[in-house]
Chains A and B, each alone.
Chain A
């Protein structure tokens, strides 16, 4: 049994007096029964016939902690951008449940191909959050070893990584390994040819890959209606594998459905598409101005579905966490924020000669020549200074 939130139903019942809410109502799932939900916006557990999950109180607190710390990290990064410490930041505000739910469904030997917004998934994979900031500060293009955490580098070109994930999954299958690959992309990327090609390849080769689309309703300023005329999860059917829409603000539903999809992939049943129906509460990036293209009412509506608030309601109501727990988590959040702040400010600029490193694995005569010329040019300044 799935339950759609009353908050989402209201505009439709009220006859959609305001144009904004009329559009909001239209943005809700077409067939409500298709939306997998295990935790309502009111913080109540509900059952679903296919996706049962029974987390322990410790697991529930863990998911809550992940979401709170991820949100705090994200807020700190946004602040650091405003303070000029980062050139850009892509906030995940509002998408914590989609990322933590799916991220916590992973096994260590699974492999993840993220976009550039999967800070919560990176957290689940054990990537130090300070390492996510290098590319946004401009000191590198990705500051972690993908193979240390089975978490690939962020990919900026929309949708490219879905093909890398598919190829990697084809390799997993060739190796006879019992692992799965999780590929993230957004509603905007669903329009890209590469995503379509990754669906084709993964279906044809029965690759153990799960596509996790975070439909956060907006691709910068373009709404989902500008990307598709059918609900995104239904795209999978045309490629020959299942698609499911999950309440992306429900961490339990995201966890349960992703777990099932990964297990399906691991056991040779091929790819699956999960559409996490969620909302980007903030701007696309810090360069964006969402007030130009969406209404405050829309955000207010989605605030009633806040992923963190609903789990907190559950924890409180069922007595699974007390004030002391929440206070301790607050202190932990503060400490994380300070650690991130200090790390960013201490992040050194790369050495000049890094320009010539890592372009090629085996070396290249032109790089060697330009490195030597640049070194000589740099050295000429030292010589001039010494001359004075």
Chain B
């Protein structure tokens, strides 16, 4: 039970295994999650050990997966469903938005819907269309849903445990290009609050806020900036609904500058909300406007162009320089 170095995908697998072991009401559902172990092998070995009744291969119908998960939750189960890729969630979007998100409120709290929807998301793996999107803002905008994304193996393990334990529906975005990144996971640790942001690198001159796959880019940017004598603080948001504005605020009150980085299009994205709220909260502390770095207002491009579309080290450093120039 001690700390162990494992990849982010293995941490999710371990987390699912722990959940299946500790609560007989937990179910895994999705396309190819059984014998294949998922197209990313995240559910590898689970059906073998827990059976087809607990780890359920479903028909290829996303609305059906989420809609039946809702019914199972109404019966007292805790389904953890896998949507194979980010761009495939939209057939289920109606069930998620009109039913899953609202049923607790509709019933005046009488029914609970502990459904977790795992979605491998984001680009950088050279995939074809619909396999690299970052639709988190579309879910964070919907009241009734919680939206989270781990950036490392430890968070991947613990945040999924906490999501499964939550009585609210949780959209759990997995940064697929970080699946193979390894880090320490202490499965005996006591995790912090699920929706708390975390300062992952302290600094004095500027705050970089990121989540999921972009935390690594932000940390790399901070390290590169340090070589030029700039002290960058990096905050891993971890949760996009709710967003821990208090932690960002405390950081910005120290540094006076904020740059938000995410893969999703900048327009009306998570960064827009953070820029607006932090401007309200930190108006007299800000020495520069809050800047955002992210995807463009275009469909996710063919993979040969994705390095231009995705925020990389240079685009992040450029924004850092612009903010520091004020």
* Interface positions of A (Cβ within 8 A of B): 140-143, 145-147, 152-153, 155, 157, 160, 162-172, 174-175, 193-194, 197-198, 200-201, 204, 357-362, 364-367
Contact = CB atoms under 8 A, between A and B. Distances in A.
A157 B112 contact: no
B104 interface: yes
Contacts of B58: 201
A364 B146 contact: yes
Given A141-B106, A197-B67, A160 B99 contact: yes
A162 B68 CA distance: 9
A357 B143 CA distance: 12
Nearest to B167: A361
Contacts of A175: 75
A283 B144 CA distance: 34
Nearest to B244: A365
Given A168-B75, A201-B59, A365-B242, A359 B143 contact: yes
Given A160-B67, A170-B75, A359-B104, 18 more contacts: A141-B106, A143-B108, A145-B110, A157-B94, A163-B66, A166-B67, A166-B71, A167-B69, A167-B70, A193-B63, A197-B67, A200-B59, A358-B104, A361-B112, A361-B166, A362-B167, A364-B242, A367-B143
B229 interface: no
Interface in B79-109: 91, 94-95, 98-99, 102-109
A189 to B, nearest CB: 13
A165 B114 CA distance: 17
Interface residues of B, number: 46
A364 B107 CA distance: 18
A146 B74 CA distance: 10
A168 B143 CA distance: 24
A360 B71 contact: no
Interface string B155-174: 00000000000111000000
Tell me the dominant secondary structure on chain A's binding face: helix
Contact of A360 (B59, B70, B75, B144): B144
Contacts of A197: 59, 61, 63-64, 67
16 contacts: A140-B108, A153-B103, A160-B99, A167-B67, A168-B74, A169-B71, A171-B74, A171-B75, A171-B76, A172-B75, A198-B68, A358-B105, A361-B166, A362-B168, A364-B146, A364-B241
B36 interface: no
B33 to A, nearest CB: 15
B195 to A, nearest CB: 7
Question: Which 4 A/B pairs are nearest by Cβ-Cβ distance?
Answer: A167-B71, A163-B67, A171-B75, A167-B68
B107 A153 contact: yes
